[in-house]
Every structure is written in structure tokens, then in C-alpha cells.
Structure 1
Amino acid sequence: MKESEKRMDTKKLNRITWKRARPIILSLGILLILIGIFTGFNSTNNWHKDQNFIHSQEARNDYKSYVKDQLKIEEGINKKYEKTNDYQNALDYGYNNGTQSIMFNPKTGKFSINYATFESYFGYIHKKLFYHHKLTDLIYSNYMSISTNIYRGLSLLSFIFLIMGFFISFLDYKTNFILLLFSSGYNRKEILKSNIRTSLIPLTFIAITAFIVNMVIIYSRIPHQYVNYPLDKIIFYQFCLLLVAICYYFLGLFSGIILGQGITGVLSLIGFVFGVELTKQNILDLFNNILPNKNDGSYYQSFFVRFDTYSHWLILDVFVIFIAFLLYFSSLYFYKRLSLEERGNYLLFPKFRLSISLVAGLFTAYSICGNIGLSSNSDNLLIRYNILPGILVFTITFCLFMVLNNYKNIYEKFGVIILKHNN
């Protein structure tokens, strides 16, 4: 085939797969952009309301009332101490009345309350958008739409890419569209590459557009000097999130290829995503135990937050890209061997059912009962709270997968037993 004919042939295949993917891409893409617009305007409107309030007389009056109450409690603590000469009783009186920080001066014999400043009383610093120059505050500020976590470290962006990858492969098989593709004369590798081109590339551009729209709204409505995080790091972090989302796309694509049932397939994918996030947290806990000096006590849900530097982010990006390529080539391997005769089965590849069940059992056991030995120095507690629960979870998961993979045979055997019993 000539090069020009090959290009024409590829364009024709791309038109076919694009027509199939377009409704899903447009739906998810519009959702992303709308979320970016809504988050941008909503967050900046709230910021302006906060600015107006903190400069108002109402805020000053609220703070004066708060200080007055604290001084009244302070006076009550000192009276209680003078009356009973009981140090602990005086402290308890203050704590029971809602005071957090009480100090005692042994020279004067007086208690004093360390009450909040005007800025900290209202929960924010009115000259800055975030508390500190940290990625954690950026994520939890809810200003960046696609940075939003919907479960632990799983971002909204990754979730949408996961859905796209799963639907683009799973629906083709379930709706018999794959029969048209396989009978069209194209080889399976080209079909899968075309599916990826016409779904991943457009969705990636839409995600970038949503981020740009979100950032333009924020920086046009809030003065730059009030944003307590550098713009170049914000952009690079969004790039890192995009790479992670692409990795989740290939995870969804791979799952859609090997899973053949709707309800159990979706539930398995959800369970796997939960397991991935739990495993990530287990690994983060492991780092916190190995590198305790670098842990400030915060609960990290992302490696990018735990290692908030450009060099660490680059290392993490290389690892994410490696996982994405591994998932891509795994998807390609199974897609080439996809059998239409296994329709209706839980896993569409009989030769891999045992191995996948074993991996699923081990993965689930570690994600739920991970970090063996980190939480206890006692062998008995280690066995009771880590090893035994891990074995139990592995056994249940493995048996569940084996039942799902062999439910037809189990059903037929039970049918034969019941038939013999009735006769």
C-alpha cells in the first residue's frame, strides 16, 4: 500500500472511531469546562466577599466581642485560682469555656489567655489567597477545578479520563461495534491506536482548555500579589496531574478490554481505583516511617504534595509515564487476542483468569491491610492486625474472582445436581 493510500485509510478509520467517541468526549469535555468556569467564578466571588467583610465594621465588632469574651474568661480563671488556689481546677474552668491556649506567669501568679489575632480568628489572612507557600493549601483551597480530589488522591481530572478510557473500549465490545471494526479489514493494532487518538487527544486538549479558563478567571479577578503560590509551579503541577489522568485513561482502557460484564466490571474498576489510592497511602506511610524527619505531621494524599519540588515531580512523572506505557502495551497485547466467543464472561481471557485472580487477591490484601509491621513492634499484634486480616482478605477476594470467572460452570453443576435430586 502506498504511503498516501495508507494515510487515507487511517483517516477513514479515525472518522469511524471519532464518530463513535464524540458523544462521550463532548459530554465529559463540556462538563470539565463548565466545572472550570463555575469553580473560577465561585471561588473568586467568595474571595471578594471575604475581602469586603474583613474590611467592614461588622468584622471589627465581631472580633471585639470575641476579645471581650476571652478577657471575661481570663478574669474568671484568675478568680477561680484566687478562690481555690487549685492550678488544675483553674485550667479546667478555662478549657471548659472554650479557651484553647492558657498561660501562667509564676512571678505575678496570674493566668493569661493567648487569643487569636484578627486574621486567624476569621480563618484566613486577608492579604493572601492561601495560608502558606505550600501545594497542600493550593489543593484544599478549591480554587483550581481539576486539582479537586474526589477520593483521597484521585483528582476529578483523573476520574473523567478513567471513565473515558473504560467506555471507549468496554462499550465497543458490549454494543457489537467491535464486530464492525474487526470485519472492516483493519488490523487490531491500528483500530486500538485509532480509538486512543480520537478519544485521548481531544479530551487532553479540552482538559488543558478547562485549566486555562479556570486560571484566567482567577488571575483576572484576584490581584496577582494575593496568590501565595508561584504561577509556574501551578502550571507544572497541572501538567503532572494531566500525566496522572492519562495514566488513569489507560487503566480504564485496559479494564474495558479484559472485563466482559457491565455491573461486575464497573464495580471491579471502582474497587481497583479505591485500592490504588489506599496503596498509594500505604506507600506514603512507608516513606513517612523511613524519612520521619521530613514529615511535618500532615496527612498527605499525593506524592506530589509529599515531595513538593521540581526534581521530585520530574522523577514521579517518569514513573507515571512508565506505568502509562505499561498499561498501553498490556492493552494492546490483550486487544490483539480478544475473543468474541467469551461474551458474557467476567474476564474475557480464560488463560489469565487464575493469574489475574491471584494478583487481585494480593493487591486487595495489601491495599486494605498494608504497611505490615509499621504500626506495631509486637509480633503478636503484627499477626493479629496485619497478617491474619491480610490472609482473610486475600482468600475472600480470590474466591470471589474464581466464582465470577466460573459462574457458568458452577450454575450448570448446580443445575445437574438439582435435576438428579428431583428425579
Structure 2
Amino acid sequence: MKYAYTNGILLDGSRDMSPQTGRVILTEGENIEKIVSEGSDLSGYEIIDLKGQYIMPGLINMHVHLPASGKPQKKQQDNTKLVKLMTSNALMRKILISMCEGYARTQLMSGVTTIRTMGGVQNCDSLIRDRILSGEITGPRILASNMAVSVPGGHMAGSLAYIAHNAEEARAYVQQIAKDKPDIIKLMITGGVLDAKVKGEPGELKMPPESVKAACEEAHRLGMKVAAHVESPEGVRVALENGVDTIEHGAKPDDTIIRLFKEHNACHIATLSPALPYALFDRSISNVTETEQYNGEVVFKGIVECAKACLENDIPVGLGTDTGCPYTTHYDMWREVNYFHKYCGVSNTFALYTATKRNAELAGLGDITGSIEEGKCADFIVTKDNPLEDLTALRSISMVVTRGNVIRSPKVKKMPQVENELDKFL
């Protein structure tokens, strides 16, 4: 199909974007053919009248776990037991895949046209990626990592991550994961908030440096970049020293860490959404212990400080939601963008740029998506209000365009409890 998007206000995704009027976006198939002035000949195009709404690149979510919904929990789940059940036979695996496909579609319907999965069950992520690409199902573009690599007692060990006992096993698991042709390899280098048993222990180093190095060497040899779960300064340092390309979550950096970021051309993917409930909710709402809340505050402050320090030192920062954690849904990427503005002190314009063009560049997709330019993919969202004035405009999407396919009035089913609690922190 050939479409002409008229009467819209264009936000192109660039770092210094400003509203542009009098522009018409012409698409043919998956791509943006031209951007022309109003009054141009539109013969042969189906007209889509945006009626004064704002059109911008689709959001890009750099950190998603498809198997979980973000529903609040009164107590911790046994993820290993749950994954074992969901992969126990063909029927349960089919249910699992269908559930993950539904969550991927929710991301799309909320305005996210590209996601980067950061730990899934078996090869479900790449399978869903391929089904979307073939047109079998509707969903966002997916950069898939499938299973991650962890260690005994490590983060997500035995559920979303294989357990490597030494460097040789870490290398072997990378080779095993690579057989399903993922786009990226994920390592679980440190523990997380809920892994810690005492105050001040979140992000305890779990994966030995030699295992990190072996996994990174093998992934790079196979042409894949490496992302790593790290929530402590020690974890960040070990990750960067041994070849990790993207630091997921992060921690307060020192001069050595800043130097390592620059020397290794690495970047930081900030994930404020999952840490906020642990750190800032009343414990009667979050259902966490005093220790977990204390550690949540450490992690939340560490992510914010890492993002701020990286920005001050011209180190690239991207955004992801870590969807799947409690109170972190598949439809709330807009909140992550808003938190970035609120807690890291960036402008609305820079926050939207980060969630679109910058994220695309960090994901290796800068020549494909992330901005509205001739020759790029037709990945758009449309909002009634201007997000450069108020980022909550991204909460209500009136149209999604994914690889040229138009979805009018997209709908998502929301969780009232989640909405009520999170809205207190807008």
C-alpha cells in the first residue's frame, strides 16, 4: 500500500526535534518514500488525515522479558518451577508462546514498534520474532536474546538463564544459544534486588571475570554483541573490563568505570521502571521487606547516577522498562520515558529522542528505524497531544504504524491497581 499522512504535526525523532507543520509523509510498503510539502501531488496514495495530531517514530524498548506481565505479587514466585512447568510438554509450551506473543502485541499497541528481549524461555523470543517477520502474527520488531547465561545461585539461574559452572561452560552456552540465531547474548553478571539477603548487598558479583570474558569472546566471534545484568559498581567494572557492550540497569560509576565505558565504546541502558516500586512505594503496597526496599533504593539511585554520569561524559544512554518485574507492564514504556525526564533531569525532547532515534542507534538499527526520514522504515505512532510539552501524551496512542501497516485506535488492557499506584509518581 501507498499512504500519504497529511495534516499532522511531525516530530522526526532527532535530538533537537521541534514540531513541523505543512509536511506530508509518503510511504510505500514498509518504507518512508518521501517527505513532501502540503499541496504536493498525492495521486496514487491513500490519504490518512491526521487531523492536527502529532506523528513521531515508534518507541523502542531496549529491555523486555516477554514471559511475565508485570502484575503485582504478594510474594516471590518460584521462577524455576514455573518455567519447568511451562516447558514440560508441547501443550504447555504452546500456551507459553501464545502468552508471549500476546505480550509482544501489547508492546506494539502501546506505541512500541521495536523491542529488545533480555532473557526469555528457551528459544521463544527468536521464534516469535520470526513469526512476526513472516507476517504470521502482528507484533513489534524484535531483537531477541532468548535464554541468558548465569551461574549457580545467579540471577534467573535455571529459569531464564542457563547455569554455567566455569568459563568453558559459559562459552559452550553461548554456542548453544547461538544455534537459534538470536540477535544478542545476555549475561547475568550480578545478583538483583530480590537476590540479596542483607542490606547493601544488591548487585553482588556472581559471575567470575573469566566466565564473562569467555562468553563475550565467543559471542563476538559469532558476530553478536553482549548485554549484561549488572547492579553494582563492581559488576559494571567486571563487565566492561571483560567485553560487555551494554550495561543493563547500572550502578553509581567512578572515574575508572567512566574510563572503561569510553575505552570499550560501551553504553548504558537505564531501567528506572522496575526499581521505582521497590524504592519508593510504601511497603504495604509493594509487599517487599525492609531489606528489599533498602536495596531497591540503592539500585534505583545507582541507575539514576549511572545515567547522569554517562550523559555528562558523552557516553550513550538508552532506555528500557525491564518489563516483567512487578508493576512494570508491557504497555508502560511511556512511563520509563517520563521517569528519565523526571529523575535524570533531561528535557522532554531529549527523553523522546532517547526512546526513538538514540535507542535505535544503540540497538544497531539506526539506519532502519528510530526517526522519520526518507528511506527508513515506516514505524510511527500518533498522539493527540504534544509529548514535547508533556510526556504523558504518550500514554494515549491513537494510531500505530509498524513496518507500514496501519493500526487505528490501538487498545490495551490495563491493570487498575498498577495504574493507580504508578500515577502517584508522574
Greater relative CO (CA pairs within 8 A, separation 6+): 2
Q: Which has the larger radius of gyration?
A: 1
Q: TM-score, normalised by structure 1?
A: 0.23
* Greater strand fraction, Structure 1 or Structure 2: 2
